Amino acid sequence: MSSTMATPTVLLENTENQAILRLSPPIGGLAVRGTIRVPGDKSISHRALMLGALAQGTTEIEGLLIGEDPQSTAHCFRVMGVEISQLNPQHVVVQGLGLGNLQEPATVLDAGNSGTTLRLMLGILASHSGRFFTVTGDDSLRSRPMSRVVKPLHLMQAQIWGRQGNSLAPLAVQGQTLRPIDYTSPVASAQVKSCILLAGLLTPGSTSVTEPSLSRDHSERMLKAFGAEISVDPETHRVTVTGPTQLQGQKVVVPGDISSAAFWLVAASILPGSELLLENVGVNPTRTGILEALEHMQANITHENERMVAGEPVADLRVRYAQLQACTIAGDILPRLIDEVPILAVAAVFAQGTTVIRDAAELRVKESDRLTAMAQTLQKMGAAVTELPDGLEITGGTGLQGAEVDSGMDHRIAMSLAIAALGAQGTTAIGHAEAAAISYPNFVKTLAAIT
């Protein structure tokens, strides 16, 4: 007796040391349809937990991302004496200790895979006078550059030591009263900017930071909402915080993460017959580079129900299939779509013409070297991709073939490859797919629901 069972489109196989995601789109192609509520914004979630921990009184957070990265932040602050209720997306309560009152931890603070946790926390720890801290992270984080925050903190007279000229974690920090600086950052990085601003909260005087182009401004918005003395010069992008200041606990509503929505925006754009409604997506202009890039590529995306929620702009995004056209992505837009370059590379494979992405060297020091990771995996699937020192050149129209690829334990690579696989012929197996849980724990479930 023979049975004919259709191959499931989405299959997650948990082995002893990794999860393998197998995607087998049906012959003739696949459309994605439905309504999706993406998880809370990762950047805003970290900041809500941190400012809640530093503020006086209670902070209530609605919509927190329950991913591994915010769990790392919550863990570190709990170790320093902050009471944080069990994390859930509906309601999280942080009992703030008041600025300067973090306890010296009796153990190493482990930021896991999270660069935002480690870099922002360094500014906070360095300014906590009289306490000693040690911080570390996973294999990936221990290889990522920390000098970009250690250097300005040293200029503030912070005492921080680590491997390779104090540039790699594990790092040791002897907290003390710092001196204010007026720092010009060589990189447009919200992590660098936020680290310095957080260090400035406890520092007497005005601490300023200027970046070459504008990076995400969630810290500025949230610090203002918590009552910090902060000003922004829109012409020069110079942000100044005056300390010492006190923060007051707030109610924070975290919008959906546009960086998570990006996977679905591209999925629906490249798969004929698709239509998705993405509800409650944060559309802060410092994060919407992905929407501008896809618009240049002639994607069909409409904004519905635009509104302000707790100081951040939010909208529902409707996306329908459209034949994409190649474009050039370079310059000031990069910081506003920095985490979306891997999924844009997938979009480019399905666009007509040659897409060029430049000025994206920062991708080499993310959770993995994302330029090499995307070039090598998409090449393996049959795409015409050339790796440039600071970007990618991708000629669309080749189609993709299913292949065995690996996320390299990078969440955004895992999810970008999953979307590429939906548009490929045959089965794609993605190794270390569990990495998606860093920022999107329900990613595979959602994928299965819309295919």
- Picking from 171, 55, 45, 172, the residue whose alpha carbon sits closest to that of residue 116 is 45
Contact 304, 318 (CB under 8 A): yes
Amino acid at 329: I
CA distance 68 to 432: 15
Contact 110, 76 (CB under 8 A): yes
CA terminus-to-terminus distance, the chain: 30
- Smallest separation, CB 267 to ligand S3P (Å): 21
Contact 390, 359 (CB under 8 A): yes
- Smallest separation, CB 160 to ligand S3P (Å): 18
- Smallest separation, CB 42 to ligand S3P (Å): 7
Using CA atoms in the order 271, 274, 278, 283, what is the torsion angle rounded to 10 degrees? 50
CA distance 94 to 223: 16
CA distance 6 to 19: 22
Nearer to ligand S3P, 333 or 381 (CB): 333
- Smallest separation, CB 395 to ligand S3P (Å): 27
CA distance 270 to 422: 9
Nearer to ligand S3P, 24 or 43 (CB): 43
The CA-based angle 177-125-158, given to 5 degrees, is 45
Nearer to ligand S3P, 190 or 201 (CB): 190
Residue 316 designated active-site:
no
- Picking from 216, 221, 224, 163, the residue whose alpha carbon sits closest to that of residue 191 is 216
Contacts of 5 (CB under 8 A, 6+ apart): none
Nearer to ligand S3P, 115 or 396 (CB): 115
Residues within the interface to ligand S3P (CB under 6 A): 43, 46, 116, 189-191, 194, 215-216, 338-339, 362
- Smallest separation, CB 157 to ligand S3P (Å): 23
Nearer to ligand S3P, 194 or 442 (CB): 194
Nearer to ligand S3P, 207 or 428 (CB): 207
- Smallest separation, CB 150 to ligand S3P (Å): 14
| The one catalytic residue among 69, 339, 406, 410 | 339
CA distance 408 to 27: 29
Residues involved in catalysis: 339
